[in-house]
Amino acid sequence: MSLIKVGLVGIGAQMQENLLPSLLQMQDLRITAACDSNLDRALQIRRYLSDTPVFDNVPAMLDTMQLDAVIMAGPPQLHYEMGLLAMRKGVHVFVEKPPCATLEELETLIDAARHSKVVAGVGMNFKFARPVSQLREMTKAEEFGDILHIQLNHYANKPRAPLWGLDSTLRSFLLAQAIHTIDLAVTFGKGELQKVQSSVQRHDDALIVKVEMAFSSGATASLLAGTTFPYFEFDMKLVSSSSTLVELDNLWNITLHEPEHATRPTGAAKRWRGAWQPGPLDSGYERSGYHGELHQFFEAMRKPQRYEADFASLLPTYHVIEEICANDAAAQGKQNIQSKIRTGIESLSL
């Protein structure tokens, strides 16, 4: 498998803007087929690569072509069903997030991956983003101490209605957006997820979701996420046992506050902090993680070894998502009962 043969599934915006460009610049990899239920869209691959065979359904592509891996970017139903199919056929599978709509489906995917022995995983690009990698490296240093708390803010402005034929805007938001930041909480939280508390506020069709998580490492995490914001932005903070606070702003700038920070001319002095920013010509797909998520996927195929963002790695994240939905359903149920009681009282009082 020195030259990996890849089939693409779902030739939409995410594929054309982020995954395809990342794949094209990878060494020893060839895109040998493209598939989209809309064949015209599948044909767009030929603007980049002449004569690439195209398909309007995945089974046909898998049967016709000798593929080492499929890369999918579509709705979760596609990722789930065609992911299962591809794994059963022994083809390595990389799907965009979300891989599926429920924890139950995720468990099926995990099982299938285990049985098929392929490398399978999900495009959790935040986890592979360069500044997040820097943070992960940094938190491994003894001088950083232990992570005590993680604060994550995820500012989104959509979805305001259910996606992918689901019936819940909340679940759609969690699967489409918050999945990344929950996954970061799990990544930095370390140990086992032990406790989840959550609440959901609604304003018109917009949501604010708050989640508290606790991990067996002793670390806790807070997430503020929602769709009441003007545009997508993101920040996170890590608090450690060595009185160090590190902030990441929008996958761009890192600020590190520590008790004794020094420059050469000032020596250690109060209120000095370390700040990092990317170079002015920083380009490509490494900072945003699209390169890293794919690069490590193919590395895992080549070695072979476990892929860090495999389906199993998302188990705690889906547990959190299910918990948030269940808590919200319970809270809404309670409210409904209360408003029924109130309505009843009002009826009585007439």
Site for a copy of itself in 224-283 (CB under 8 A): 224, 226, 228-234, 237, 239-245, 250-252, 255-267, 269-283
User: What distance in Å separates the CA atoms of residue 113 and residue 159, rounded to the nearest whole number?
Assistant: 30
- Does residue 161 touch a copy of itself according to CB under 8 A? no
330: contact with a copy of itself by CB under 8 A: no
Please calculate the CA angle 289-296-237 and round it to the nearest 5 degrees: 40
Tokens for 113?
Answer: 């991956």
CB nearer a copy of itself, residue 37 or residue 134: 134
Q: How many residues bind a copy of itself (CB under 8 A)?
A: 94
Which DSSP letter does residue 46 get? Answer: G
Residues between 136 and 155 with contacts to a copy of itself, criterion CB under 8 A: 137-139, 141, 143-144, 146, 148-149, 151, 153, 155
* Residue 307 CB, nearest approach to a copy of itself (Å): 21
Q: Is 13 in the site for a copy of itself (CB under 8 A)?
A: no
User: What is the smallest separation between the CB atom of 174 and a copy of itself, expressed in angstroms?
Assistant: 18
Shortest spacing between CB 312 and a copy of itself, in angstroms: 26
Cβ distance to a copy of itself smaller for residue 88 or 203? 203
DSSP per-residue codes, 298-316? HHHHHTT---TT-GGGGHH
Smallest distance from the beta carbon of 273 to a copy of itself, in angstroms?
5
Residue 169 is a binding residue for a copy of itself (CB under 8 A): no
- Does 194 help bind a copy of itself (rule: CB under 8 A)? no
Q: What CA–CA distance (Å, rounded) separates 296 from 321? A: 26
| Cβ atoms of residues 220 and 214 within 8 Å | yes
Q: Is 43 in the site for a copy of itself (CB under 8 A)?
A: no
Question: Does 50 help bind a copy of itself (rule: CB under 8 A)?
Answer: yes
- Is residue 158 part of the contact set for a copy of itself (CB under 8 A)? no
Distance CA 259, CA 271 (A): 9
Name residues contacting a copy of itself, limited to 68-107 (CB under 8 A).
Answer: none
Please tell me whether residue 17 binds a copy of itself under the rule CB under 8 A: yes
Q: How far is the CB of 48 from a copy of itself (least distance, A)?
A: 6
Window 103-142: residues binding a copy of itself (CB under 8 A) = 125, 134, 137-139, 141
* Residue 76, both tokens: 């979760």
Nearer to a copy of itself, 48 or 343 (CB): 48
Nearer to a copy of itself, 280 or 349 (CB): 280
**170-189 binders of a copy of itself (CB under 8 A):** none
User: Which of 189-211 are b and which e, b meaning 16 or more Cβ less than 10 Å from the residue's Cβ?
Assistant: beeebeebebebeeeeebbebeb
Pick 280 or 348: Cβ nearer a copy of itself: 280
Distances from the Cα of 91 to the Cα of 131, 159, 189, angstroms:
32, 32, 32
Amino acid at 139: T
Axis-axis angle for helices 179-189, 315-349 (nearest 10): 120
d(CA 142, CA 144): 5
Query: E strand or H helix at 331, and its extent?
Result: helix 315-349
Q: Which is nearer to a copy of itself, 206 or 314 (CB)?
A: 206
Verify binding: residue 20, a copy of itself, rule CB under 8 A.
yes
**273/334 with CB nearer a copy of itself:** 273
Residue 132 neighbours by CB under 8 Å, 6+ apart: 126, 184, 248, 251, 289
